[in-house]
Structure 1
């Protein structure tokens, strides 16, 4: 049912400076693949057929990576080394691109996908979040909830209270063991967070979110916050939150990035 996804990848990567001045953090290597390939592969595993990547003019490496290199392929063919193109396979999926000229926030980036979505429900995957799973991809877990309720669903994780000021945090009523129906959401609460349930970078939205994103004003940090759009959407539709099963790594955090590298390299050695 959910066939389209938006991947916003136009941010400045300020948490990863100075290297992110020249290498987009989405292209940071994890094993022999860049981070964003893990996110694209998750989308494909979840049934997504078309992706819109929102990029900036400094993110051409992302576009080049998913494109064919005819010169390289011709060289490898002449040298009888075409097998080198198969490790790892670049995902075979239709990827569209649009530019966000100025980084004005996640709400603004997603709003650029309105014509791409074309009045269909759609997914959003934030490339900062790499979520490794044993059974079902994190996005597929949300799609399963959407299929049941036909209303927007966001990924949740229980976070230690001292870190909640870095997240959108929900207030909600428990709907099942791992699902909540939101009653409110607060972006980066400085005091009195409404819960320990933090929003992480996986979403499934009805197209009604665009109506709200078109109305919101600049919020925290002078940016158009997706959280404000979701808060407004709650006035007309239900939003569900699903506790994600899987191990999440935030590649914008040096600690998380190193833990992910160690995990992947360990598995490569043992595998």
Structure 2
């Protein structure tokens, strides 16, 4: 009869599927337990953005790329909300565990570095997709806005949540205090999200800013999601898909290396 320790490390193939599922489930249950903060609050924030821009700019702005201004900015606001929440999910989970001293509960079980990265990212994708569905439902009700290409919209929403979830893992491991995490959010993540064509078409930018925007991977996420929602974009969705996949893979590999080395995780 196998011992308890043997049963705890039993794997199906080379992956500890039970451990991976448990970590992902914990991350999902963590944000569902406070759904008013993690799901309802982003919906209200996105709604406020839409109301403010519609009242302040909408009547005078006219069409953008052949679509009404409110329809143009709606996908950008939705995607910005998704990526901010995906980043917050992984980064806050890791930072809180480090500050409270219980990160060892994640590091001690028989989970590989890759399984930990996937588990955390699964929670970020779950939260991001649920936020996307909530905001999209609001846009459908109040603006009558339905996705033109639903599959494209779903792909970019998922990749956006995965990319920012991986970036959140890196930031969470790097930060040892809440103020360090706040600095990363305020000075890196938020500017990248705002300066990526969320509220405007990059075609209107001067040459220097136009080229700089195309170096921002979040631009391709928002632009690709906009294509899925309203059928127009500043760049090819296929190029956006390639950039999104490579960016997600890159942050995933960096996070993998940090977990393997125990960077800022082990005393």
Q: Which structure dedicates a bigger proportion of its chain to helix?
A: 2
TM-score normalised by L of structure 2:
0.28
TM-score normalised by L of structure 1:
0.27
Q: Which protein has the larger Cα radius of gyration, Structure 1 or Structure 2?
A: 2
